Amino acid sequence: MKKTVLLFSGQGAQTVGMGRDLFERYPTASRLFKEADSILGLDLSKVIFEGPEEKLTQTEYAQPAIFLMSWVAMKLLQESIPGFEFQGAAGLSLGEFTALAAAEVFSFEEGLILVRKRGTYMQEACDATQGGMAAIIGLPEEVVREICAETETELANLNCPGQIVISGESSKVVSACELARAKGAKRALPLAVAGAYHSSLMRSAQSKLKDALKEVKITVPTIPVVSNVTALPHEKNADVIRDTLVRQVTSSVLFESSLRWLIDNGFTRFVEVGPGTVLCGFLKRISKEVEILNIADTVSLEKTVAILNQVN
């Protein structure tokens, strides 16, 4: 049997209206959306389904919204294929928290509350700084590292071959883009984000997240969950998991290396659960050999379930 990984979406994948078709068609989805509203004490479902986009994009709403949407997608997959099992999990930044919840490190309720707090703390850090991010396309990692050193910016995401995201003070990110173009980058594109995620400008969020994590009951993962910080599975130690999640706020996201660890360790089927197909796109740039599926709406759910039913 193929070893299967669930991949969980990160911030930026959110779109107004995501999950509405699942909510309207599947009682489990409807129940989970309503449950999330009750847990958080706010009408998150309305923000997800109706927007406005500016509100959904705010970190404090985007993070719990994507966590919820990804959880719904996973639960519908499990409901549609009784006995379905996955042997590994990973997620991009925020998605790592969903992956940990999927591995029973903490509950859905605790995870939802935690990512809402994380989003709020990161939004506060954004508001207190003048930060930005940019995607650098078509340059080797070592060249981007040189650019960062020269412009006092930082590597935020190493997503896949030829795509690296940098982070830092807005004016310095602009300078880094100019230098990247001069060094032959195919594209150097500032991103429409609220701040400098995964950089030292997020440091103020770390102490708050550390305190929030102290209140969360953490157990060891039931399956390997690859850490963004180390590109290795989380250790089976609650304190180390907490520390790694705090470090993740300012550390580079080693997503390409995380996917390569999974491939090198025999995982051959990857299912992205949650809005969008960004992670599928990264994976296609890394390997032509693995099977790549996704669940983001009713159509993709039915397609993925049909494929998995043929082979399981």
CATH number at residue 227: 3.40.366.10
CATH number at residue 186: 3.30.70.250
In the residue annotation, 93 being an active-site residue is answered as yes
Q: Does 274 reside within a domain? A: yes
Q: Does 195 reside within a domain? A: no
pTM of this structure:
0.96
List the domain range (segments joined by +) for residue 185. Answer: 130-190
Q: Are residues 153 and 277 in the same domain?
A: no
In the residue annotation, 234 being an active-site residue is answered as no
Q: Does 176 reside within a domain? A: yes
Tens digit of pLDDT at every position of the chain (312 positions): 789 999 999 998 999 999 999 999 999 999 999 999 999 999 999 999 999 999 999 999 999 999 999 999 999 999 999 999 999 999 999 999 999 999 999 999 999 999 999 999 999 999 999 999 999 999 999 999 999 999 999 999 999 999 999 999 999 999 999 999 999 999 999 998 889 999 999 999 999 999 999 999 999 999 999 999 999 999 999 999 999 999 999 999 999 999 999 999 999 999 999 999 999 999 999 999 999 999 999 999 999 999 999 865
- The total number of structural domains in the chain stands at 2
Q: Are residues 214 and 270 in the same domain?
A: yes
What count of residues does the chain have?
Answer: 312
Q: Are residues 134 and 57 in the same domain?
A: no
Q: Are residues 176 and 306 in the same domain?
A: no
- Transcribe 58-121 into DSSP letters: SHHHHHHHHHHHHHHHHHHHHHHSTT---SEEEESTHHHHHHHHHTTSS-HHHHHHHHHHHHHH
Q: Are residues 209 and 285 in the same domain?
A: yes
Helix axes 108-128, 203-214, angle to 10 degrees: 160
Task: Catalytic residue, from 80, 93, 227, 252: name it.
Answer: 93
Q: Are residues 167 and 295 in the same domain?
A: no
Q: Are residues 176 and 225 in the same domain?
A: no
First and final C-alpha spacing in the chain: 8
Task: Catalytic residue, from 45, 198, 234, 252: name it.
Answer: 198
Q: Does 32 reside within a domain? A: yes
Domain termination site, one of 168, 190, 212: 190
